[in-house]
């Protein structure tokens, strides 16, 4: 090891840089770490509990759909949005119309009675296929956006005004033809896309509004 001229040799002495942290700082750091871990665990637990809640709700609605023989009219899935209850057009409306069938109102009542018991926010989404609005309906629904928003609005109003669904927990939007669940290449696939979705959101999440979506409520 080279010794620089004029620099005293320290041998094995310990070199100290700055001042040591006070002892309370170590305790404080440990406490903050434990608090962070606690909140991470609580968030994970809440997410897991909410997921189980959505699964239980889905099973209840599946039993209802089977009992009422509605498998060809109602679909149930859990995805990144939450629990999605898809109500096909043929269950809910005449083609190109937005007035809810009286029989469908009873089904909405049964479904809503299960959904209202969970604290999650709910979003009503209107969807169509990609077939343009016919000339006879253009004056009322210039595009599929207007038709999808009108259907979502009518379902939302029925839940609010007749079924007393909590207003702070519900929203509504029209997606037109831009959120299909199948390619619009066959009549069967088009029928799948003509729907109203009741989305039971996961707690603590907000649905992103894709481009082209018209929010109603």
For the stretch 127-170, pLDDT in tens is 999 999 999 999 999 999 999 999 999 999 999 999 999 999 99
Range of the domain at 190: 29-215
> Which residues on neighbouring strands pair with residue 55, listed in sequence order?
none
In a domain, 17, yes or no: no
Predicted confidence (pLDDT) at residue 103 exceeds the cutoff of 50: yes
For residue 74, the model assigns a pLDDT of 98
In a domain, 4, yes or no: no
How many domains, the chain?
1
Q: Which residue has the higher pLDDT, 27 or 185?
A: 185
The per-residue pLDDT for range 197-216, each reduced to its tens digit, is: 999 999 865 545 444 444 44
Mean pLDDT of 115-128: 96
In a domain, 83, yes or no: yes
- On whether the CB atoms of residues 122 and 115 are closer than 8 A, the answer is yes
In a domain, 9, yes or no: no
Q: Given pLDDT bands bounded at 50, 70 and 90, which one contains residue 6?
A: low
Predicted confidence (pLDDT) at residue 104 exceeds the cutoff of 60: yes
The per-residue pLDDT for range 53-63, each reduced to its tens digit, is: 999 999 999 99
In 3D space, the residue among 188, 199, 215, 209 whose CA is nearest the CA of residue 159 turns out to be 199
Give phi and psi for 206, each to the nearest 5: -125, 135
Q: Is 93 helix (H, G, I), strand (E, B) or coil?
A: coil
- On whether the CB atoms of residues 126 and 173 are closer than 8 A, the answer is yes
In a domain, 6, yes or no: no
In a domain, 3, yes or no: no
Mean pLDDT of 91-114: 97
Predicted confidence (pLDDT) at residue 17 exceeds the cutoff of 80: no
- Cα 166 from Cα 178, distance rounded (Å): 28
pTM: 0.77
Give phi and psi for 169, each to the nearest 5: -105, 10
Kindly report the average pLDDT of the chain as a whole number: 86
CATH number for the domain harbouring residue 127? 3.30.1330.60
For residue 77, the model assigns a pLDDT of 97
For residue 18, the model assigns a pLDDT of 59
Q: Is 157 helix (H, G, I), strand (E, B) or coil?
A: helix
In a domain, 1, yes or no: no
In a domain, 15, yes or no: no
Q: Given pLDDT bands bounded at 50, 70 and 90, which one contains residue 3?
A: low
- Cα 131 from Cα 35, distance rounded (Å): 55
The per-residue pLDDT for range 20-72, each reduced to its tens digit, is: 667 766 676 666 777 677 666 655 555 767 899 999 999 999 999 999 999 99
For residue 161, the model assigns a pLDDT of 97
For residue 176, the model assigns a pLDDT of 97
In 3D space, the residue among 124, 126, 115 whose CA is nearest the CA of residue 54 turns out to be 115
Predicted confidence (pLDDT) at residue 19 exceeds the cutoff of 50: yes
């Amino acid at each position: 090891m080279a010794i620089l001229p004029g620099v005293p040799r320290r041998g094995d002495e310990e070199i100290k840089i700055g001042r040591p942290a006070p002892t309370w700082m170590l305790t404080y750091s440990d406490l903050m770490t434990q608090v962070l871990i606690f909140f991470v665990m609580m968030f994970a637990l809440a997410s897991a509990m909410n997921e189980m809640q959505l699964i239980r709700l889905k099973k209840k609605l599946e039993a209802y759909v089977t009992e009422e023989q509605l498998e060809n009219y109602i679909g149930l899935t859990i995805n990144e949005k939450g629990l999605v209850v898809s109500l096909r057009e043929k269950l809910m409306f005449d083609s190109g119309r937005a007035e809810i069938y009286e029989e469908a109102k009873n089904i909405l009542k049964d479904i809503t009675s299960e959904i209202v018991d969970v604290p999650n926010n709910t979003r009503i989404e209107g969807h169509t296929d990609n077939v343009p609005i016919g000339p006879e309906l253009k004056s009322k629904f210039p595009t599929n956006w207007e038709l999808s928003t009108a259907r979502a609005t009518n379902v939302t109003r029925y839940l609010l005004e007749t079924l007393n669904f909590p207003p702070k927990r519900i929203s509504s939007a029209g997606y037109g033809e831009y959120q299909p669940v199948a390619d619009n290449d066959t009549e069967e696939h088009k029928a799948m896309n003509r729907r109203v979705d009741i989305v039971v959101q996961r707690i603590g999440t907000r649905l992103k509004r894709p481009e082209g979506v018209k929010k109603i409520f």
